[in-house]
Structure 1
Amino acid sequence: MNFDLTDDQRMMLESFARYLDENSSTEKVRAAAETQGFDAVMWRGLAELGAFCLRVPEDQGGLGLGVMDAAVLMEEVGRTIAAGPVAETLVAARVLALLAASDQAELLEQIFTGETVTSIAYADISAQPKQWVAGGAVAQAVIARKGNQVVLVSVPQGAVQCEPTMADNAIAELDFANLESIVLGEGDKATKVFAQGLEEWKLLMSVALSGLSREAIRLASVYACEREAFGQLIGAYQGISHPLADLIVDVDGGKYLTWRAIHDISKGIDDAGAQISMALWWTADTAARAVTQSLHTFGGYGLATEYDIHLYNLRAKVWPLVYGDPSRVLEEAGRRLYAGEAVALPDVGQVDIDFDLGDEANAMAKELDDLFNRILTPELRAKAHYSFDGFDAGVHKTLAEHKFLFPEWPKDSGGREAEPYVINALRSVWESHGWTSHPVSTTGMVGTMIRKCGNDELKQDVLPKIIAGEAICSLGYSEPGCGSDVFAAKTKATPDGDGWWRIDGSKMWTSGANIAHYVLMLVRTNPDVPKHKGLTMFVVPMDSEGIEVQAVHTFQDERTNITYYDGVRVPDKYRLGEVDGGLKVMSAALALEHGGGFMKSQQALFESAEQMCAEITYQGKPLIQDVDAQKRLARTRAHTYIAEMLGDRALWVGVTGKESKAYGPMTKMFSSEKFQSDARDLLDLTAPYSLSKRDGAAGELNLAYRHAHGTTIYGGTSEVHRSMIAEKALGLPRTRG
């Protein structure tokens, strides 16, 4: 797996960033508005850096680089809202070179040097002779499709009647019926080259919008760290920080969804064409929301023209809207997924990013998949459930015998010393079979804490049972009335003589306590110090006298529990860490819990909805043929792909040791929130059939809707994760007490 740019791409990024910081400053962007929204000096400087020949093959005078290289440029163009149709010119230069390099050598050279601006028309000019063009106010030529021909349209000086536009950035409406053109090529080969160019433009614009959005959020975050209101920095208010946290996740997601599309094109993945459409739709929508919230952060000052944020606000709308309504691009994704619409994929060139988990991960995943297929009988599959309710002691022990319960553990501790990529692949297998991982993940976390913080006697007593698959564990953190504030615990442990402790109190949401052998419990051992300092962690045997387990049933068809502890005596060997040192132990436990996502649940959601849409009849035809249904299914797929990319990024950063800016919480928060909103939407789409709990897709979709509500709470609520993201990714002040 690799999310890194190549050395050459990093050098290119630094070069373009330095140049654009100086030559596309907001002062120069403002000045360009006075000259039809175009900066000729900046444009020629970009040309000198090789910008406009990036995508032209070497044998036609260009640099012969790939779309990922062009994406490096476009992200910087977006960050600095450079004045001019950069993406369109990149595409125009490539199309011109591929169709008529020798006949148009002079024009091609003028594009390379920045002397001539050449743009593209998005729609077939034979069907739509009058249309808006990016850079149309300053372009000397436009490349367009005209029926089965690709033509070069000359735009003489004075032929365009310029008019004020939202961002004053050189867009203009051209009447191609009144302009002269020459044919560059005709027939399927020529029109395919042009169609590939349009798809490449979508990718380049997607990256530019991501760069623009990121910079807008950065400006807002900096301001939120400077402006005070009611005695504190406004960034400390969750009403300011949480929306920005949501948006930076969406921005990252859009960037990596675009990268995924480029990668999957290079690998020949079936739905790569749909991913192109998804990327443009998502980044356009994200940019619109990002600049609006960023401007809102500035309050009234955001409306003042001397503040730069309004420049980003207007560009975020103008850049993609020249092409048309972004929601139409989501319709396009739906057609490509569900109506068989063909797409001419661009030649993306060399792609060095890679999202494969590797041969070892794939091999071990197959081994586990084969084992599940052997041991999961129809009866066991019918019993399967995502929660502790799906636990089966026989399956659990068989998995232990094959060292698949805790494969990341050392071999002498019942593991395989599997690397993180392998673990990720194995988790996907668990989820693909619908087999519960809760008893395993919870028990694994408790076992890891014992290995790290337990004394030798505890390790010798408990770990062998866990390793053999003979014991599972539950978590006792939350208490009635405390919610996510685990450090407000009131359940107390007091010394009871001869190295024993007495525990009294109650714990809420102790899922699996009814079948668990141990519970990892945070208790108060010192009430006379600040609440987070007087806590200690214990591993409590569930067969101890004085423990009562009462069922709490959720509307997710899941049992959890409230557990009561009345004079429960526990020997000191079951203590983890120092007395009153529970914070340190708890922090290590939370580090194991925060992160991850629900991508397989998301995938199962849209697959169930797809199946239902194929079976349900709407207005005399299958619902899946309905445009609105296709859009909504495509949207859910896009959310799933983004969650997967965020999860892969977090995994890769962890493996490589690179800095993580709350990438785990980003994955968990985005995945759970979209799982919930998409489940709600697809339940609506397939109603009333989705209301049934019958076997099959309807029951699965019904349960997904109910299950999704818990995912925004498990492992810390979305609000907790938003605060973490705001602090670590945006540098905003701490918002929690």
Structure 2
Amino acid sequence: MTTGFGAEAEEFAASVAGVVESGWGTAVAAPAGDLPTLAEAAVAQGWYEPGGEGALDFLAAAVRELGARACPLPIADAYVTARLADDATRARVASGEVRPLVAVAPRPDGTVFEHLDAAEGATHVLRLVPGAAAAELLPIERTDPAPGLAVPAWSRVTVTTEGALTCGRGAEDVAAALSVHRLGLAIRALGAAARVHALAVEHAKVRRQFGRAIGAFGAVQQRVAACQIDLAAGERLVEDAVGHVLAGGPDAGLAAELAIRFVRDTAPSIMFGAQHTLGAIGYFEEHEAPWLFRRVHADLSRLETLRAPGVDRALVEDGRSLPASNLGPVAEAFREEVRALLAAHRRDGGHDAEGLRAEMAGRGLFALAWPRAEGGREATVEEQVVLNEEMKYARGPVDRAMSAAMLLGHSILRHGTPEQKAEFLPLIREGRMAFCLGYSEPEAGSDLASLRTAAVRDGDHWVVNGQKSWTTRGQTASHVWLAVRTDPDARPRHAGITIFLVPMDTPGIQIQRHVALSGEISCTVFYDDVRIPDSMRVGEVNGGWKVIGDALAAERVIMGGVAATLLRQLDDLLDVLRRDPAGTLGPDGSRPRARLASLAARLQAARVLVLAATRSMNDAAASGARVRLAAPMAAVLSGELAEDFGQGMLEILGPAAALGPDAPGAAGAGLFEHGLRLAPMFVIGGGTNDVQRGIIARALGLPRE
């Protein structure tokens, strides 16, 4: 299982897992599990105390473990009750004297509740009424089993108002309690989905068909990787939501609802994907999968009965924005500096490009992470995240200069000669390096190790022949960051590649322009007997893969940074929707509202993955699959979200979103239709998503196809 709630919370979760393993077992125990006895052990272990302490991270980590074992022990219900109750009632909950279940009443006088888990042994129902100033803790009078999908079976519970206790100190308390309870259900469902996904991954490594492990089949790898991305994004969103709730800020409720929405959208597909990988082995009740299947879908269906104001209402009617991750006082102060800088150079809906470039250069922003000796600011990872986010969001006209710093600057610092550093680092630092990438070829796109453009040594020079494709900005570049094959017999293939930084006006270089779907110019570049001196080589001969690795790591973070661009599109969309919510979105529960909520949740998931990816790229001490996978997962999720976002604009706004900037009535000044046309590049560039999912699958231990 993943770890992300802090060491103490994870220790608590491990203790919970150990007790449940011995007192309940695995998910296979669900039909015969003894919840009352397990509840007694929970009291002895102090599991019902986190509510009194407000330790939501402890609760979340523990509920995740319960989900992995298809165990509906209602510790989240106890937590919510303890948060609302007075000290005396809280003590009764902690001691196990009061064992509450949480339910939402359609009416203030409701005394019958359907579809409740774990009613056996429960003593009370905490009745939450959205909008009410308080909740009520009502004694249970009768329980009737309601068998079906849920195992253990749900119950129909009748309560009495005699001896009822009032809990909470206002509508905000009740709303927060409902949000936490809904989050607990989502966490439990995600924990169950995570467990069956882990079982499917292990199965794919050992199950053999047609003479090889099924994990070697491309279709299985793609499915497993897709499930892994959704799972990781959901886990990150949950952690983000828990952090917001613990901080007690204004974004706590929205952060929780975004996590809940994402889990609702993705946990079933993770579950079905795992079932497909397990095949018939996971279809029969001797296996854990059928019981986890029941738990995932039962918990998610209960979310529908626990209605709360949704993501769409928060964003549109309430005027909220997606919660930002607080990156610490230094980074957040830097964010204000960057925003002020952008505001100072804003002109007529755009920016003064030259003025912005000059001031950024003067402040050392293009060399933000470089050593001070090289003109940098030795900025933290968090400050680098801030600069990338704010520039992308503002559509700042310095994208090429920032890309040069990230893709070329770090590599030249690590691998360049003193002469190369003296020539190129000042240009990069000043934002004047007009470069293009010479990587892709007709037969080598995502598979760079297959490149064929050859460089043959001739004394102090190299003679280059070949062709590069899809060279964006090649027609305006001063230099090309060129990958060539210098040893055609090298094994493995990537061992024979070398990097050069070559002026584009070198004789023998010819450019052919192409117009992309997005309207952007990209080029085919031909190299015919191009002679370049060895002084243009960056790094060792045949050692280019290390140099490429430095650049590609940054490139995938940049590609993941599309999330900041999509955040701007979302905010532009919200500006349109807020003018006439009823006319554009319709009533609560409408399809456009559901579409908006899902897009917003996926965008927030992409943002937390991008943040994780950026941090992992700059943390030399980081290790583990969770870190290694962060960058490709961010790239895949962000790229596919860009496509879905473009389609979503058309579905929500209709033909107005398909109009260009010069058309009357164009929604979003024509930027929405351009975003749709640009979207496929975010899936193709930096290594196609199919390739990235293959990388993810192999990082999980699946064999090569």
Q: Same fold (TM over 0.5)?
A: yes
> Counterpart of 1:549?
511
**CA distance in structure 2 between the aligned counterparts of 1:18 and 1:684, rounded to whole angstroms:** 48
Matched, 1:338 2:323: no
Distance 1:189 1:463, change over 3 A: closer
Distance 1:31 1:359, change over 3 A: closer
> Counterpart of 2:636?
669
Distance 1:426 1:565, change over 3 A: same
CA contact (8 A) 2:140 2:158 kept: no
CA contact (8 A) 2:30 2:291 kept: no
CA shift for structure 1 position 732: 2.3
**CA distance in structure 1 between the aligned counterparts of 2:5 and 2:704, rounded to whole angstroms:** 32
Distance 1:690 1:698, change over 3 A: farther
Task: Select which of 659, 677, 680 maps to 1:692.
Answer: 659
CA contact (8 A) 1:210 1:251 kept: yes
Using the size of structure 2 for normalisation, the TM-score is 0.89
Between 428-437 and 291-300, the greater mean CA deviation after superposition:
428-437
CA shift for structure 1 position 190: 6.4
How far does the alpha carbon of each residue in 1:142-181 deviate from its partner, in whole angstroms, 9 at most, with x for none? 232588774444334xx433243223214112345xx564
CA contact (8 A) 1:683 1:705 kept: no
Using the size of structure 1 for normalisation, the TM-score is 0.85
Matched, 1:644 2:607: yes
Match runs of 1:470-489 below 5 Å: 470-489=432-451
CA contact (8 A) 2:472 2:523 kept: yes
Matched, 1:40 2:43: no
Give, as a single letter, the amino acid of the residue that structure 1 aligns with 2:566: Q
Match runs of 1:510-549 below 5 Å: 510-530=471-491, 531-549=493-511
Distance 1:421 1:149, change over 3 A: closer
Matched, 1:706 2:677: yes
CA contact (8 A) 1:615 1:623 kept: no
CA contact (8 A) 2:483 2:499 kept: yes
Name segments (4+ residues, structure 1) moved above 6 Å.
146-149
**CA distance in structure 1 between the aligned counterparts of 2:387 and 2:680, rounded to whole angstroms:** 25
Match runs of 1:713-724 below 5 Å: 713-724=684-695
CA contact (8 A) 1:679 1:704 kept: yes
Distance 1:324 1:407, change over 3 A: closer
Give, as a single letter, the amino acid of the residue that structure 2 aligns with 1:721: Q
Match runs of 1:288-687 below 5 Å: 288-324=268-304, 332-340=310-318, 355-378=325-348, 381=351, 395-444=356-405, 445-496=407-458, 498-530=459-491, 531-595=493-557, 596-615=560-579, 621=583, 623=585, 627-654=590-617, 657-659=621-623, 660-687=627-654
Q: CA RMSD in A?
A: 3.1
> Counterpart of 2:70?
81
**CA distance in structure 1 between the aligned counterparts of 2:144 and 2:283, rounded to whole angstroms:** 29
How far does the alpha carbon of each residue in 1:273-332 deviate from its partner, in whole angstroms, 9 at most, with x for none? 233223223223322222211111111111111111111111101123234369x66x72
Task: Select which of 119, 127, 140 maps to 1:155.
Answer: 140
**CA distance in structure 2 between the aligned counterparts of 1:403 and 1:336, rounded to whole angstroms:** 39
Structure 1 runs not aligned, ≥5 long? 57-63, 343-353, 384-391
Local SS of the residue matching 2:71: coil
> Counterpart of 1:9?
9
**CA distance in structure 1 between the aligned counterparts of 2:348 and 2:135, rounded to whole angstroms:** 59
**CA distance in structure 2 between the aligned counterparts of 1:203 and 1:131, rounded to whole angstroms:** 20
Distance 1:240 1:566, change over 3 A: same
Local SS of the residue matching 2:184: helix
CA shift for structure 1 position 616: 6.3
Matched, 1:51 2:47: yes
CA contact (8 A) 1:149 1:190 kept: yes
**CA distance in structure 2 between the aligned counterparts of 1:371 and 1:145, rounded to whole angstroms:** 47
Local SS of the residue matching 1:686: helix
Q: State, as a whole percentage, how many aligned pairs show the same letter.
A: 26
Local SS of the residue matching 2:94: helix
Between 608-617 and 145-154, the greater mean CA deviation after superposition:
145-154
Between 139-148 and 663-672, the greater mean CA deviation after superposition:
139-148
Local SS of the residue matching 1:407: coil
Local SS of the residue matching 2:661: coil
**CA distance in structure 2 between the aligned counterparts of 1:608 and 1:694, rounded to whole angstroms:** 14
**CA distance in structure 1 between the aligned counterparts of 2:174 and 2:188, rounded to whole angstroms:** 21
Distance 1:88 1:75, change over 3 A: same
Distance 1:261 1:532, change over 3 A: closer
Give, as a single letter, the amino acid of the residue that structure 2 aligns with 1:550: Q
